[in-house]
Amino acid sequence: MSQEGKLVVITGPSGVGKGTIVKSLLAKNPEIFLSISATTRSPRQGEVDGKDYYFLSHVQFEEMINNSELLEWAEYAGNYYGTPKKPVLTQITEGKIVVLEIEVVGANQVKESFPTATRIFILPPSVNELEKRLRGRGTDVDEIVTKRLIKAKEELAVSHEFDYQIINDTLEEAVADVEQTIKNLI
Protein backbone atom coordinates (compact mmCIF):
# COMPACT_ATOMS: atom_id res chain seq x y z
CA MET A 1 0.00 0.00 0.00
CA SER A 2 1.56 3.30 -1.05
CA GLN A 3 1.26 6.39 1.05
CA GLU A 4 -0.65 9.36 -0.34
CA GLY A 5 1.57 12.28 -1.28
CA LYS A 6 1.49 15.83 0.02
CA LEU A 7 0.91 19.26 -1.47
CA VAL A 8 3.30 21.96 -0.28
CA VAL A 9 2.67 25.58 -1.24
CA ILE A 10 5.63 27.97 -1.14
CA THR A 11 4.69 31.64 -1.26
CA GLY A 12 5.86 35.07 -0.27
CA PRO A 13 6.31 38.53 -1.76
CA SER A 14 8.01 39.23 -5.07
CA GLY A 15 11.80 39.28 -4.69
CA VAL A 16 11.92 37.20 -1.51
CA GLY A 17 13.70 34.30 -3.25
CA LYS A 18 10.92 31.72 -3.66
CA GLY A 19 12.17 30.58 -7.06
CA THR A 20 15.78 30.28 -5.93
CA ILE A 21 14.77 28.29 -2.84
CA VAL A 22 12.58 25.95 -4.90
CA LYS A 23 15.36 25.40 -7.51
CA SER A 24 17.83 24.49 -4.74
CA LEU A 25 15.26 22.26 -3.04
CA LEU A 26 14.55 20.35 -6.26
CA ALA A 27 18.25 19.98 -7.09
CA LYS A 28 18.81 18.32 -3.70
CA ASN A 29 15.53 16.33 -3.71
CA PRO A 30 14.75 14.95 -7.19
CA GLU A 31 11.83 12.95 -5.74
CA ILE A 32 9.90 16.19 -5.22
CA PHE A 33 7.59 17.12 -8.10
CA LEU A 34 7.31 20.80 -9.06
CA SER A 35 3.87 21.72 -10.30
CA ILE A 36 3.90 23.61 -13.59
CA SER A 37 1.66 26.64 -13.76
CA ALA A 38 -0.45 27.69 -16.72
CA THR A 39 -0.38 31.24 -18.06
CA THR A 40 -1.72 33.33 -20.88
CA ARG A 41 1.40 35.49 -21.09
CA SER A 42 3.82 34.96 -23.95
CA PRO A 43 6.87 32.77 -23.34
CA ARG A 44 10.05 34.61 -22.43
CA GLN A 45 13.24 33.76 -24.26
CA GLY A 46 14.30 30.20 -23.46
CA GLU A 47 11.02 29.19 -21.79
CA VAL A 48 9.57 25.88 -22.93
CA ASP A 49 5.85 25.00 -23.03
CA GLY A 50 5.13 22.16 -20.61
CA LYS A 51 8.42 22.66 -18.75
CA ASP A 52 8.43 26.28 -17.54
CA TYR A 53 4.69 26.92 -17.98
CA TYR A 54 1.76 25.65 -19.93
CA PHE A 55 1.25 28.55 -22.33
CA LEU A 56 -2.46 28.90 -23.10
CA SER A 57 -4.75 31.30 -24.92
CA HIS A 58 -7.21 33.38 -22.89
CA VAL A 59 -10.04 31.19 -24.25
CA GLN A 60 -8.29 27.96 -23.19
CA PHE A 61 -7.60 29.35 -19.71
CA GLU A 62 -11.18 30.57 -19.27
CA GLU A 63 -12.42 27.08 -20.23
CA MET A 64 -10.24 25.64 -17.45
CA ILE A 65 -11.72 28.16 -14.99
CA ASN A 66 -15.28 27.32 -16.09
CA ASN A 67 -14.60 23.57 -15.86
CA SER A 68 -13.05 23.86 -12.34
CA GLU A 69 -9.76 22.45 -13.66
CA LEU A 70 -7.55 24.78 -11.60
CA LEU A 71 -6.49 24.58 -7.95
CA GLU A 72 -5.99 28.34 -8.00
CA TRP A 73 -5.80 31.15 -10.49
CA ALA A 74 -5.37 34.89 -10.65
CA GLU A 75 -5.19 37.66 -13.19
CA TYR A 76 -2.04 39.74 -13.03
CA ALA A 77 -1.02 42.52 -15.42
CA GLY A 78 -3.62 41.46 -17.99
CA ASN A 79 -2.66 37.78 -18.01
CA TYR A 80 -4.01 34.73 -16.22
CA TYR A 81 -1.84 32.47 -14.08
CA GLY A 82 -3.01 29.27 -12.44
CA THR A 83 -2.30 25.72 -11.32
CA PRO A 84 -3.90 22.88 -13.30
CA LYS A 85 -5.45 20.33 -10.88
CA LYS A 86 -4.96 17.11 -12.82
CA PRO A 87 -1.12 16.81 -12.82
CA VAL A 88 -0.99 17.75 -9.12
CA LEU A 89 -3.63 15.18 -8.11
CA THR A 90 -1.96 12.49 -10.23
CA GLN A 91 1.39 13.00 -8.48
CA ILE A 92 -0.19 13.10 -5.02
CA THR A 93 -2.10 9.87 -5.73
CA GLU A 94 1.25 8.30 -6.68
CA GLY A 95 2.63 9.24 -3.24
CA LYS A 96 4.80 12.16 -4.37
CA ILE A 97 5.41 15.46 -2.64
CA VAL A 98 4.24 18.22 -4.95
CA VAL A 99 5.53 21.78 -4.54
CA LEU A 100 3.64 24.82 -5.82
CA GLU A 101 5.59 28.07 -6.00
CA ILE A 102 2.85 30.69 -6.29
CA GLU A 103 1.76 34.16 -5.28
CA VAL A 104 0.00 34.83 -1.96
CA VAL A 105 -3.47 35.23 -3.54
CA GLY A 106 -3.15 31.80 -5.14
CA ALA A 107 -1.84 30.27 -1.91
CA ASN A 108 -5.01 31.44 -0.15
CA GLN A 109 -7.16 29.90 -2.91
CA VAL A 110 -5.34 26.58 -2.48
CA LYS A 111 -6.34 26.60 1.18
CA GLU A 112 -9.97 26.58 -0.01
CA SER A 113 -9.58 24.07 -2.87
CA PHE A 114 -7.07 21.75 -1.13
CA PRO A 115 -7.38 22.20 2.66
CA THR A 116 -4.75 19.55 3.51
CA ALA A 117 -2.01 21.49 1.69
CA THR A 118 0.88 22.71 3.81
CA ARG A 119 1.52 26.40 3.18
CA ILE A 120 4.98 27.90 3.74
CA PHE A 121 5.46 31.67 3.66
CA ILE A 122 8.96 32.89 2.79
CA LEU A 123 9.85 36.15 4.55
CA PRO A 124 12.65 38.58 3.81
CA PRO A 125 14.99 39.44 6.70
CA SER A 126 13.57 42.99 6.45
CA VAL A 127 11.59 45.20 4.08
CA ASN A 128 14.81 47.16 3.40
CA GLU A 129 16.58 43.96 2.35
CA LEU A 130 13.62 43.04 0.12
CA GLU A 131 13.86 46.44 -1.57
CA LYS A 132 17.62 45.91 -2.12
CA ARG A 133 16.92 42.52 -3.70
CA LEU A 134 14.18 43.89 -5.96
CA ARG A 135 16.35 46.78 -7.12
CA GLY A 136 19.37 44.47 -7.45
CA ARG A 137 17.55 42.25 -9.94
CA GLY A 138 17.54 45.20 -12.33
CA THR A 139 14.44 43.89 -14.10
CA ASP A 140 11.96 46.58 -13.07
CA VAL A 141 11.77 50.36 -13.27
CA ASP A 142 11.40 52.33 -10.01
CA GLU A 143 7.63 52.63 -10.35
CA ILE A 144 7.25 48.82 -10.56
CA VAL A 145 9.62 48.26 -7.62
CA THR A 146 7.56 50.71 -5.56
CA LYS A 147 4.33 48.86 -6.47
CA ARG A 148 5.94 45.50 -5.62
CA LEU A 149 7.03 46.87 -2.21
CA ILE A 150 3.53 48.17 -1.41
CA LYS A 151 2.09 44.78 -2.33
CA ALA A 152 4.84 43.00 -0.36
CA LYS A 153 3.93 44.94 2.81
CA GLU A 154 0.28 43.86 2.40
CA GLU A 155 1.38 40.23 1.91
CA LEU A 156 3.79 40.30 4.86
CA ALA A 157 0.91 41.49 7.06
CA VAL A 158 -0.89 38.14 6.51
CA SER A 159 2.17 35.85 6.76
CA HIS A 160 1.04 34.64 10.21
CA GLU A 161 -2.00 33.00 8.54
CA PHE A 162 0.27 30.39 6.92
CA ASP A 163 1.33 27.06 8.45
CA TYR A 164 5.04 27.95 8.51
CA GLN A 165 7.06 31.14 8.14
CA ILE A 166 10.67 30.84 7.01
CA ILE A 167 13.03 33.80 6.78
CA ASN A 168 15.28 33.84 3.71
CA ASP A 169 18.28 35.53 5.28
CA THR A 170 20.85 33.15 3.84
CA LEU A 171 19.82 30.86 1.00
CA GLU A 172 21.41 27.71 2.47
CA GLU A 173 19.57 28.12 5.79
CA ALA A 174 16.25 28.90 4.09
CA VAL A 175 16.55 25.83 1.83
CA ALA A 176 17.47 23.65 4.83
CA ASP A 177 14.47 24.99 6.79
CA VAL A 178 12.06 24.34 3.91
CA GLU A 179 13.57 20.87 3.39
CA GLN A 180 13.20 20.03 7.09
CA THR A 181 9.60 21.31 7.14
CA ILE A 182 8.73 19.05 4.18
CA LYS A 183 10.54 16.03 5.69
CA ASN A 184 8.54 16.51 8.91
CA LEU A 185 5.33 16.06 6.86
CA ILE A 186 6.26 12.59 5.68
Parallel, antiparallel, or unpaired: how do β-strands 70-76 and 79-84 relate?
A: antiparallel
pLDDT score for 142: 85
| Domains along the chain with CATH numbers | 6-185 (3.40.50.300)
CA 112 to chain centre: 16
CA 11 – CA 114 distance, rounded (Å)? 15
Q: Which residues pair with 76 in a beta bridge?
A: 79
CB 72 within 8 A of CB 110: yes
Contact 108/130 with Cβ under 8 angstroms?
no
Binned average pLDDT, 10 residues per bin, the chain of 186 residues: 82 92 94 94 89 94 96 87 94 94 90 93 94 82 86 94 96 96 89
Output the pLDDT for position 1.
39
How is 93-151 classified by DSSP, letter by letter?
HTT-EEEEE--HHHHHHHHHH-TT-EEEEEE-S-HHHHHHHHHHH--S-HHHHHHHHHH
CA atoms within 13 A on the CB side of 69: 14
* Integer-rounded Cα radius of gyration of the chain: 16
pLDDT at 157: 94
